[in-house]
Structure 1
């Protein structure tokens, strides 16, 4: 019976938070009040609240209580290798891609280091803003080796480059190395994204490899701070 009440409290609050019945910043009743409402012990209530806290639905402030967190941020998988088109399909929210540049140019010293090619190597450069629910919140800057990806167009970039690479060019994309940092926003970020008051941005640098271990793509995916949380699963292994 105690377990059933714990699940009832936990699921009840998840539903209210996800459907917007409880807005971010709302203070939850105290443990004593919840125990009285559900006819259970404070220990059972505390168990449900702790799980809500661990999963990012509420924030507990010592001496003040539990408060609802903003769960409108969208999960972006750190360890997965997924296109924006595939991710957007899971969001259930209106989205579109705005292509601002698709060009071919010499790599230059900086991008040559990232792609591990000579500076004179020709590469494709694709700049795309990702709009979700009417706000441009991601700026993707993609660079591809042109000896592996000989052709790109604005039309391909506006759809799914990965669909084109895998279905048309028959490339076998295998894995990626990712580096994540928080950095000051650039003039380009401010011009192409709806940054609002935010002066910093989350940058995910992707180094993408083919099945034959050849590095063929370098990407900077630049995210507005408030809209994305980066999700991974980790299990401690005792040594």
Structure 2
């Protein structure tokens, strides 16, 4: 059922298996999943691994939890066609059967500005990681993404190849961070000459902008990001759920 020889993380293998069971109808709406303890025993993995798979499916709208009772399958009417903000660009692309790729424009350390320090709840001048990537789907440029993270939370993360690596995947798997919430502002503005060139936009062209701060389960800021997206090639859709509103596509 799951393979420890696979390059796919164990939690993602469990998530994919459960998703297949849900979409095939083997797990029907409002049926209760086995307990976390039972799944730990079944797959011989840690409870953290099982919880990550379950939490991701909750964020994607395929499961819901009832305190003290466990996890249940959401009805088809409740299941989204899009995905939540806390999924990576690569995960969203693969769910849409598209091929993601990134061109790294910047990957280095910088001192935190006053604004970034305030957002990340650190002191100005603290060493942070800055990433700038041009995002592609099926060979077409669709967005420019900036990410800023305290280096103390992800030591040596720049040793990874971010043309292929998932930032959120690394934060979860390599550093053990549990991404719990993304707070964002969506807007639009005219693209600069450089942005228009990267995204193959006519001038004057418009980009969709998404500012986001991502938090862990303790409400500690993990990352600040800015996404600039081609409005036709990468439209953003908002999912309204019972408890929160989620952005698809970041």
Retained in 1: the 8 A contact 2:113–2:125?
A: yes
What is the match of residue 173 of structure 1? Answer: 179
Contact 2:142-2:229 within 8 A present in 1 as well? yes
3-state SS of paired residue (1:229): coil
Q: Distance in 1 between matches of 2:81 and 2:183?
A: 15
Say which one has the larger Rg. 1
- Preserved contact between residue 103 and residue 126 of structure 1 (Cα < 8 Å): yes
Q: Pick one of 211, 226, 236 that aligns with 2:232.
A: 226
Q: Which of 162, 167, 170 in structure 2 is aligned with 1:164?
A: 170
Larger displacement relative to structure 2 (223-232 or 75-84):
75-84
TM-score by length of 1: 0.61
> Cα 1:138–1:146, aligned 2, differ >3 Å: closer, same or farther?
same
Specify the alignment match of 1:91 in structure 2. 96
Displacement of 1:205 after TM fit?
A: 0.7
1:138 lines up with 2:111 in the alignment: no
Displacement of 1:197 in angstroms is: 4.4
List gaps (5 residues or longer) in structure 2.
1-79, 243-250
Are the counterparts in 2 of residues 139 and 221 from structure 1 also a CA contact under 8 Å?
Answer: yes
Any idea what SS the aligned residue of 2:160 has?
A: helix
Pairs aligned (count):
162
The answer to whether structure 1 residue 193 and structure 2 residue 192 are counterparts is no
1:40-51 alignment, distance < 5 Å: none
Gaps of 5+ in 1: 1-74
**Does structure 1 residue 184 correspond to structure 2 residue 197?**
no
Structure 1 runs of 4+ off > 4 angstroms? Answer: 75-79
The CA deviation string for residues 48-104 of structure 1, in whole angstroms up to 9 with x for no partner, is xxxxxxxxxxxxxxxxxxxxxxxxxxx995853110110111122333111111000
